[in-house]
Structure 1
Amino acid sequence: MERWADRLDMVNRGVGRTVRWLAILMVLVQFAIVLMRYVYGFSSIAVNESVLYMHATLFMLGAGYTLLVDDHVRVDIFQARASARGKAWIDVIGHAVLLVPSILALLYWSWPSVRNAWAIHEGAISVGGIPAVFLLKTLIPAFCILLIVQSLACFLRNLLRLQEGRTA
């Protein structure tokens, strides 16, 4: 099971290492936007939208990596006072009962919108913008799949901890 969890981790580790560069690129593009607007008096809707696209890509594709490195938002009502074994149980139940079912529901309910966007190659959000909303909407199922993959890896690791009595 440990090997499977490691292989699943590799998916989000690779995606995380790739999309993290979007944060730097976003800052540079936003700086260029401000410079172009206030120094040169030039503005571009497509360039402005590119920041939105990068931001969406960074957060949607980086969610699985965030779960991998355990930097996600966690409500520590129960977990803060739990033993290591208790924390493993909370994570197992959380992944099986809360995370995966909700992500599967999101995947199921968003799929028609994504499919329709691809069918018509849905265009720009605003006039003069990037004509690729269908790509933006594709981030939703990608987010779901990457989160399910990482959730499965976490679930397997916690099951191993419970089986072996490991606390680390």
Structure 2
Amino acid sequence: MPSSARAHLKTAVSTIDRFAMATGKLIAWLVLAMMLLTCWIVVMRYGFSMGSIALQESLTYLHSTVFLLAIAYTLKQDGHVRVDIFYRRLGVNRQAWINALGSLLFLLPTCLFILFASWDFVVNSWAVKEGSPSSGGIPAVFLLKSLIPLAAILIAIQGLGEVLRNLLILTSDASDKTEAHHAD
């Protein structure tokens, strides 16, 4: 592969990775907010016998946001569950092939499926500005549902980054393979 093409691929991978890292760090603050909110709800309920459906639902909203928007960050960190009985024993090239083909054959098509399958679901929710089914709940279920296609887009972008990273590994010389494989 020509060095200019490699440079462009490295830039693309680096940009995608920085985006996933920034998203992950931003979303991590929501975990702190979720913890503080949980403590607040417990204190209000058991200390003062006061409750709020909107506060309870906000925990669901925060949890959904963390789970759905941190999924690309988790992929970047190689934090998804992997049964690697054989994988860890393979060389860098074979691991790169497995990662690239897995992303191309499974991850990216699944992201496209989720995106298209959720589209009408989200559009219909926006059309009626769907709110909470509970009285006193958060009137923004349509925003919560919007996280589904957004998560598919974010993980597809990171999946593309993983394909490009593994392409760089497969087309690099032996000295670059270890460095490219372990690059953050």
Q: What is the CA distance between 1:80 and its match in structure 2? A: 2.5
Structure 2 residue 126 is the aligned partner of structure 1 residue 118 = yes
Give 2:53's aligned residue: 45
User: Alignment length, in residue pairs?
Assistant: 168
C-alpha distance in 1 between matches for 2:163 and 2:36: 38
Question: Percent of pairs identical after alignment?
Answer: 44
C-alpha distance in 1 between matches for 2:155 and 2:48: 42
Which residue, 76, 87, 94 being the options, matches 1:86? 94
Is the 8 Å Cα contact of residues 121 and 132 (structure 1) preserved in structure 2?
A: yes
Which residue, 20, 23, 26 being the options, matches 1:15? 23
Which residue, 153, 158, 165 being the options, matches 1:150? 158
Name the SS of the counterpart of 2:134 in structure 1: coil
Structure 2, unpaired ranges of 5+ = 1-8
Letter in 1 for 2:96: A
Please list the CA deviations of residues 107-156 of structure 1 after superposition, one character each: whole Å capped at 9, or x if unmatched: 11110000111111101142211010000000001100100010011110
The CA RMSD over aligned residues, in Å, is: 1.1
Q: What is the CA distance between 1:27 and its match in structure 2? A: 0.6
Name the SS of the counterpart of 1:39 in structure 2: helix
Q: Normalized against structure 2, the TM-score is what?
A: 0.88
Runs of 4+ in 1 over 6 A off after TM superposition: none
Greater mean alpha carbon deviation, residues 32-41 or residues 123-132: 123-132
Give 1:55's aligned residue: 63
C-alpha distance in 2 between matches for 1:77 and 1:127: 50
Letter in 1 for 2:78: D
C-alpha distance in 2 between matches for 1:78 and 1:156: 23
Letter in 1 for 2:73: Y
Q: What is the CA distance between 1:75 and its match in structure 2? A: 2.1
Name the SS of the counterpart of 2:70 in structure 1: helix
C-alpha distance in 2 between matches for 1:77 and 1:123: 46
Letter in 1 for 2:82: R
Is the 8 Å Cα contact of residues 125 and 133 (structure 1) preserved in structure 2?
A: no
- Taking a change above 3 Å as real, the CA distance of residues 16 and 45 of structure 1, as seen in their structure-2 partners, is same
Greater mean alpha carbon deviation, residues 144-153 or residues 66-75: 66-75
Larger radius of gyration: 2
Which residue, 77, 82, 94 being the options, matches 1:69? 77
Name the SS of the counterpart of 2:139 in structure 1: coil
C-alpha distance in 1 between matches for 2:106 and 2:122: 24
Name the SS of the counterpart of 2:104 in structure 1: helix
Letter in 2 for 1:153: G
Name the SS of the counterpart of 2:83 in structure 1: coil
C-alpha distance in 2 between matches for 1:157 and 1:125: 45
